[in-house]
Amino acid sequence: MTGRKLVRFAAGVAAWVLLAAPAHADKWSPWIEGGGFLSNERDRGEVTAFVPLLQNERGLLFADVKGKLFSESVKEGNFALGYRQMTEQGWNLGVWGGYDTRESETGNTFGQLAFGLEVLSVDYDARLNGYVPTSNPKAGGGLTTIELAGSQILMTGGREVPLWGIDGEVGWRVPLENLGADAERNEFRVYAGGYRFDDDELSKPVQGPRVRAEWRINEIIPGLAGSRLSFETSFQHDSYRDDQWEAGFRLRIPLFAGDAPKNLALIERRMTEALVRDTDIVTVPSKSEKVADALTGVTFDRVERVDGSGDLDALSFAAGANSLIIVEGGNGDVEGAAIDGGQTIAGAGSTLALRGVSSGTLVNYAIPGTTPTLIAAGCGCGDILDLLGSNTHITGLLLDGQAGFASAGILLDSGLRNLHFTNMEIRGAAFAGIAANEDNEMFVDGVNFYENIVGIYVENRNEVSISNSVMDVLMVGGVIANSDNNIAMENVEIKNVDAGSAMLLNGDNIVIIDNALFETLWDSGIDGNTGNNIVANNLTVRDTGWNSINLNFGNRLALTNSLIEFSDNDGISAISDNNLTISGTTLQIIDGSALYIEDGNTLNLSSSVFDSLILLDVLTVGGTGNTLSGNGNENNAFVGGNLCTAAPSSFTGTIGFNGSPDIVDGSCP
């Protein structure tokens, strides 16, 4: 229940019980009360409705409904039914039970059952209340903190925990009549008590003393019997919230009362006292817990630090698995290392996503310090980081190959799983920013590859995910894959390749691309050799020195909602036995043919647009045995050659165009 709904619900219940009350009660009548309190912890305003439901001369069944609005957007509603009985000995005995609901400052909503016993007389009060949560702990949100101390990193407040508890107090009416005051109109009451709230997720209970005082001015509104203005202050202390004080007022307005309150004895008036209980549902942050890398799932048992004066290689070996190693800048370059499995290597100045092991709460921890630079060790001719094990996360670093001294920024051995490379830059490598042997699984997110020979190179049977990354100023290619790799790309830019293609695929790779830019390339955007399966959506290939997409033998291409432009040769070229499905794609400013196919290819072209200048043909068929299909295409281009150029019987099938001739069954219009 949201805070706004909670307040509306409380108001609705209050209105219902007020309307349900008899208009002229025999003895006790309903009232409403509003007030506000200032506090060093949290200010609040509140409204209370008290409604007699059933009554006789000595007993009263009533409803007590409260709505509270605290600072920091905290809201609470309290709903209770109570019964009080007057005794011959001058005591009112009461019991009550109800339900509370609260929206905390973190936006979490909690509920609890509440109940209590009370004994009231003219001069004395005694109360004992209990609270039982009906909600489980919830994510801590803004309450969560990360503590890095020595060799440990812990999360506190991973969950916001509602507490069970008890509180109680005893009270005494100060006899103002002995001081000459009008005790009928003025009451001064003082109270002392305490509270204890607890849960298994707390390292210690929330407990402490509470004292309060209340000055009541009865019949504050002339002629309105039962009206009352109260001033109240209270103080309490516990080890979680330290000293807390509050002070405020309440104004009570009787309803349908007439002269009834005037005629009641003091002990009878006490039958309509408001329920007194803890101000709000008590929630606190959970106790300290271990944290894990949110990406790898590795729980950190220890934290180590290293800078330019240390030895990352020796430190990684000594730390072992389940370690967080923070690399700090500001004291010179840090030499690279062989990294064991089960470790996170994080640069100072970066943000590391951590998850509480017990609570599951996710927190982005800003590591203090300066971003470090890693270089190749020794002669500088090796790799900067060699990964030897699985479950590894490298983040927040600048890997500098020093203009080609280092071979690879990161080299993966074989058979490694659950590798994550995030939020860093790899530059100046003589071979690849990241190079992988066989059967590895890696996730690359937010990595900038700059001035490397190759961005990412993978051998065989690797699973690669690349997202939110840029590869710029490369020599041979952005991504080069040998055979049988699965590659997924999302929000990736590959540009300024001096002597190669954005993607070079050898054989039988599966590639899925969503939202990518391949731009300013010496060769092609995608160069597929044999048996590759490529699915691309929202792909832009711009400014290529050869075919924008170049497919040799037995490849499959599904291209949707894409743009191909500024090609120095053909837009899409397919040599033999390729299967092409192209839809929603624009091809424009092509120096050769927009589409070129040779032998045994299958082409489905639909809902695509040919625009601006196409120097040769929209479609050139340079061989035999091709199958064409599709419709809904637009030819708006200035074509230097023909819509279609093909030898007789070089293809079967039809490609339809809107408002211009179709390509039909082996013949070009």
Specify which residues 305 forms β-bridges with: 326
E strands, 498-544, are 501-507, 510-521, 526-530, 533-544
Mean pLDDT of 170-187: 88
Mean pLDDT of 577-594: 98
Report yes or no: 255 and 30 within 8 Å, Cβ to Cβ.
yes
Specify the range with the lowest mean pLDDT, choosing from 14-23, 298-307, 416-425. 14-23
Give the residue with greater pLDDT, 493 vs 239.
493
Nearest to 82 by CA among 114, 108, 110: 114
How confident is the model over 321-346, as pLDDT tens digits?
A: 999 999 999 899 999 999 999 999 99
Cα 391 vs. chain centroid, distance in angstroms? 22
Specify which residues 454 forms β-bridges with: 432, 477
Q: Which amino acid is at 146?
A: I
Tokens describing residue 181: 């005051």
Q: CA–CA separation, 135 vs 158, rounded Å?
A: 16
Q: Which amino acid is at 86?
A: M
pLDDT at 5 over 50: no
Mean pLDDT of 411-416: 96
pLDDT at 205 over 50: yes
pLDDT at 12 over 90: no
Report yes or no: 405 and 376 within 8 Å, Cβ to Cβ.
yes
Q: CA–CA separation, 607 vs 659, rounded Å?
A: 13
pLDDT at 600 over 90: yes
Share above pLDDT 70 across residues of the chain, in percent, rounded to a whole number: 95
Helix extents (H) in 563-606: none
Q: CA–CA separation, 669 vs 649, rounded Å?
A: 14
Tabulate helix, strand, coil % of the chain (nearest 5): 5, 55, 35
pLDDT at 216 over 80: yes
How confident is the model over 438-481, as pLDDT tens digits?
A: 999 999 999 999 999 999 999 999 999 999 999 999 999 999 99
Mean pLDDT of 8-32: 59
At residue 65 the predicted structure's pLDDT band, cuts being 50, 70 and 90, is: very high
Give the residue with greater pLDDT, 574 vs 149.
574
Confidence (pLDDT) at 24: 44
Q: Determine the 3-state secondary structure of 178 from DSSP.
A: helix
Confidence (pLDDT) at 443: 98
Tokens describing residue 234: 């209270």
Q: Which amino acid is at 98?
A: G
Mean pLDDT of the chain: 92
Give every strand in the sheet of 351-356, ordered side by side: 145-149, 152-156, 289-293, 351-356, 362-366
Confidence (pLDDT) at 502: 98
Confidence (pLDDT) at 42: 86
At residue 403 the predicted structure's pLDDT band, cuts being 50, 70 and 90, is: confident
pLDDT at 666 over 50: yes
Mean pLDDT of 630-641: 95
Mean pLDDT of 190-198: 96
Confidence (pLDDT) at 258: 63
Report yes or no: 182 and 218 within 8 Å, Cβ to Cβ.
no
Q: Which amino acid is at 593?
A: S
pLDDT at 3 over 60: no
Q: How many CA atoms lie within 13 A of 499 on its CB side?
A: 6
* pTM, entire model: 0.81
Confidence (pLDDT) at 9: 44
**C-alpha dihedral (642, 644, 650, 656), degrees to nearest 10:** -160
Q: CA–CA separation, 191 vs 100, rounded Å?
A: 24
At residue 240 the predicted structure's pLDDT band, cuts being 50, 70 and 90, is: confident
How confident is the model over 92-111, as pLDDT tens digits?
A: 999 999 999 999 888 889 99
How confident is the model over 482-534, as pLDDT tens digits?
A: 999 999 999 999 999 999 999 999 999 999 999 999 999 999 999 999 999 99
What Rg do the C-alpha atoms of the chain give, in angstroms? 38
| Stated length of the chain | 669
Q: CA–CA separation, 194 vs 352, rounded Å?
A: 42
At residue 405 the predicted structure's pLDDT band, cuts being 50, 70 and 90, is: confident
**The domains spanning 3-285 and 293-475 adopt the same CATH topology:** no
pLDDT at 4 over 50: no
Report yes or no: 497 and 474 within 8 Å, Cβ to Cβ.
yes
| Beta strand 651-655 pairing with 283-285 | unpaired
Q: Which amino acid is at 504?
A: L
pLDDT at 378 over 90: no
Q: CA–CA separation, 544 vs 478, rounded Å?
A: 14
Q: CA–CA separation, 86 vs 363, rounded Å?
A: 56
The CATH H-level superfamily of 3-285 is: Inverse autotransporter, beta-domain (2.40.160.160)
Confidence (pLDDT) at 22: 47
Backbone angles phi, psi at 606, to 5 degrees: -145, 145
Specify which residues 467 forms β-bridges with: 445, 490
Confidence (pLDDT) at 257: 62
**Domain spanning 293-475, CATH architecture:** 3 Solenoid (2.160)
Confidence (pLDDT) at 7: 44
Nearest to 584 by CA among 564, 565, 607: 607
**C-alpha dihedral (468, 470, 476, 482), degrees to nearest 10:** -10
Confidence (pLDDT) at 283: 84
Helix (H) or strand (E) holding 11: helix 3-20
Q: CA–CA separation, 284 vs 595, rounded Å?
A: 66
Backbone angles phi, psi at 481, to 5 degrees: -125, 130
Confidence (pLDDT) at 16: 47
CA–CA distance from 572 to each of 28, 528, 590, 595, 608 (Å)?
A: 89, 11, 10, 5, 13
Q: CA–CA separation, 60 vs 358, rounded Å?
A: 48
- What residues contact 605, with CB distance under 8 A and at least 6 apart? 580, 582, 583, 595, 628, 629, 630, 633, 655
Tokens describing residue 245: 């004080």
Give the angle 317-381-453 at the CA atoms, nearest 5°.
110
How confident is the model over 246-271, as pLDDT tens digits?
A: 999 999 999 876 666 667 889 999 99
Backbone angles phi, psi at 475, to 5 degrees: -90, -55
Give the residue with greater pLDDT, 126 vs 12.
126
Tokens describing residue 649: 């019987």
At residue 82 the predicted structure's pLDDT band, cuts being 50, 70 and 90, is: very high
CA–CA distance from 289 to each of 15, 135, 141, 302, 466 (Å)?
A: 46, 21, 15, 13, 32
Confidence (pLDDT) at 310: 95
Tokens describing residue 481: 């894959």
Report yes or no: 546 and 525 within 8 Å, Cβ to Cβ.
no
Give the angle 291-294-295 at the CA atoms, nearest 5°.
140
Q: CA–CA separation, 516 vs 469, rounded Å?
A: 10
At residue 660 the predicted structure's pLDDT band, cuts being 50, 70 and 90, is: confident
Give the angle 373-377-383 at the CA atoms, nearest 5°.
85
Nearest to 337 by CA among 379, 374, 381: 374
Please state, as a whole number, how many other Cβ atoms lie within 10 Å of the Cβ of residue 297: 12
Confidence (pLDDT) at 200: 87
At residue 20 the predicted structure's pLDDT band, cuts being 50, 70 and 90, is: very low
Tokens describing residue 491: 């929000």
Q: What is the 3-state secondary structure (H, E, C) of 311-366?
A: CHHHHHHHHCCCEEEEECCCCCCEECEEECCCEEEEECCCEEEEEECCCCCEEEEE
Domain edges within the chain: 3-285, 293-475, 508-669
